[in-house]
Amino acid sequence: MMAKKNILITGGAKRVGAQSVRYLHAQGANILLHYRASKDEAVALADELNRQRPDSVRIHQAELQNINALQELANAAEQVWGGVDVIVNNASAFYATAMGEVTDSQWDDLLGSNLKSPFFLIQALTPILQSRNGCVVNIVDIHAERGLEGYPVYSIAKAGLVALTKILAKELAPQIRVNAVAPGAILWPDHDLTEQQKLEIQAKVALQRTGCPDDIAKAIAYLIYDAEYITGQVITVDGGRTLFS
CA distances from 243 to 30, 80, 149, 206 (A): 37, 42, 18, 7
The mean pLDDT of 13-36, rounded to a whole number, is 97
pLDDT bin (cut points 50, 70, 90) of residue 108 is: very high
Q: Where do runs of H (alpha helix) occur along the chain? A: 15-26, 39-52, 67-79, 104-111, 117-131, 152-171, 195-203, 213-225
What is the predicted pLDDT for the residue at 190? 60
pLDDT at 242 exceeding the cut of 70: yes
CATH architecture of 6-243: 3-Layer(aba) Sandwich (3.40)
What is the predicted pLDDT for the residue at 188? 67
Note the Cα 211 to chain centre separation in Å: 16
Using DSSP, state whether 233 is helix, strand or coil: coil
The mean pLDDT of 125-138, rounded to a whole number, is 98
- How far apart, in Å, do the first and last CA atoms of the chain sit? 40
What is the predicted pLDDT for the residue at 194? 76
Domain-wise residue ranges, the chain: 6-243
Note the Cα 228 to chain centre separation in Å: 19
pLDDT at 56 exceeding the cut of 80: yes
Mean pLDDT of the chain: 94
pLDDT at 2 exceeding the cut of 70: no
Q: Which of 95, 154, 222, 225 is catalytic?
A: 154
pLDDT at 141 exceeding the cut of 90: yes
Using DSSP, state whether 177 is helix, strand or coil: strand
Q: What percent of the chain has pLDDT over 90?
A: 82
Contacts of 110 (CB under 8 A, 6+ apart): 93, 95, 97, 153, 154, 156, 157
* Interval 72-97: pLDDT, tens: 999 999 999 999 999 999 999 999 99
Do the beta carbons of residue 142 and residue 242 sit within 8 Å?
yes
pTM, two decimals, is 0.95
Please state, in angstroms and rounded to a whole number, the distance separating the CA atoms of residues 143 and 217. Answer: 19
Burial 1-15 (b: 16+ CB within 10 A, else e): eeeebbbbbbbbbbb
* Interval 175-219: pLDDT, tens: 999 999 999 888 766 666 777 777 878 888 888 888 899 999 999
pLDDT at 157 exceeding the cut of 70: yes
Q: What percent of the chain has pLDDT over 70?
A: 97
Q: Is 95 a catalytic residue?
A: no
Instruction: Report which DSSP code applies to 3.
Output: P
